[in-house]
A = this chain, B = another copy of it.
Amino acid sequence: MTHRTLIKDLSALPDGPVTVAGWVETVRDQKKVQFVVLRDESGALQLVNPATREIAEDVEDAAAAASALALTETISGLSLGTFITVTGELKHDERVKLGGLEVKVGTLEVAGASLPEAPIAADSSLDKRLDYRWLDLRQPKNALIFRIQTTLEHAWRTWWVGNGFVEIHTPKLMESPSESRAELFQLDYFDLGTAYLAQSPQHFKQMAQAAGFGKVFEISPVFRADPSFTSRHATEFISVDAEISWIDSYEDVISMQEQLLAAGLAAVKAKHGDEIRELFGIEVEVPQVPFPRIPLAEVHELLKSERGYTVPREDGDLDPEGERQISAYVKEKYGHDFVFVTDYPANIRPYYHMRDPETGLTKSYDLIYNGTEITTGAQREHRIDELLANAKDKGLDPAGIGEYLEFFKYGIPPHGGFGMGLARVLMLLLGESSIRETTLLFRGPTRLAP
């Protein structure tokens, strides 16, 4: 291993020899002195080199002078983006704006040169930036997103593991379309015919309840073949899923999810709060538990009475503007970034959401975060007769859901769960305008690369 010091760790070191490595962010090639800003995954550092532009005829140490000239020429020739390793002398100096320190270059080795012309700049269009996403990700703000993601996921998994959940990996290749065929990618699968890419792990995480696993979680890719071009949809995205047995109502799922989110955001604030304030201008809010809950019917009334907004949909569901408005209402009224909207009518929920026998409403919810839905959750219908009745009520052919029903036949406890889009959570946490910014390598109907 190159025994380099991460740039963020330099400030704690005394003046003296160090080795650093990273890529060239800027070069200021002045006549008498050269400055390079070197960046690594932890920060940026000023390198300085007194320029040697020619070798005096009467020089005492000709070899040293030739070496100094070569170093100057190497620095003059550095393309931005080139990866280099530098050994030199660290010096703390309060006058240096960049962190109050600099490294005087001793030796400089080019580890991976860049072409001279960078294909994108910080102000390139989003689409152009995504064409060269690996360069776009060198921007400190963009790189930070994925360190935040790392912290968030690890905090979630730690919460789950600490609460007795089992991590599962469910197949992404499925024999039968679980729901709407329109949303499914298809492929030829050996001699078995067509396979479908999973649009959600739900089928399998319910199966894990029939297996008696009790509580499970999974963070994994899912695939949607319907062409969506909004800032919050992707063809392939990471779904954060959990499913638990022995629930009395969807309230048990909600309770689990709000604790999970609070634990995750607390970890993000503790580890990255300062950087997020600096680079995104945002103060991370750790939400109070319990989050507000409002039945959908009441949401519609509040939107009318408190916000003067009537949702222009006939099916009774919320539209994006309705989500923004109820979120704004909750923020004003309760100071909360999250709101659970509950008790959706059956006509806008899938057949496998359990229905309340008295109201006919489903025992389901959406979770809205800073104005946008990030989750659908529900108690599932685990009674096979009711499942069939619900499916029939929706006009579904029971034969089409046969594989799904199979694992309900040999015993399954009451259960429920949720799915949550990882990139959406990050987008809304950081105030970004699109999940394209919070997805490592976005996939959409017009983008399959890089």
Give me the interface of A with B, judged by CB distance under 8 Å: 1-2, 4, 6, 21-24, 39-41, 79, 81-83, 85, 111-115, 118-119, 132-135, 137-138, 143, 146-147, 149-151, 153-154, 157-158, 161, 164-176, 185-192, 195, 197, 204, 207-208, 210-214, 220-221, 223, 227, 235-236, 238, 246-248, 252, 255, 382-383, 403, 406-414, 422, 440-441, 443, 445-446, 448-450
Contacts and interface: CB of A to CB of B under 8 A. Distances in A.
A213 B137 CA distance: 8
B410 A443 contact: no
A143 B211 contact: yes
Contact of A204 (B6, B422, B441): B441
Contacts of A450: 175, 207, 403, 406-407
Nearest to A146: B166
Given A1-B247, A246-B2, A411-B114, A207 B134 contact: yes
Most buried by B among A119, A149, A151, A213: A213
Contact of A248 (B1, B115, B446): B1
A211 B1 contact: no
B169 A422 contact: yes
A214 B382 CA distance: 47
Nearest to A247: B1
Contacts of A23: 212, 411, 413
Given A154-B161, A207-B450, A441-B204, A212 B422 contact: no
Given A81-B411, A207-B450, 18 more contacts: A2-B247, A39-B212, A83-B413, A111-B246, A112-B412, A134-B208, A134-B211, A151-B161, A169-B440, A170-B441, A172-B172, A176-B449, A187-B187, A189-B448, A190-B235, A192-B445, A192-B446, A406-B450
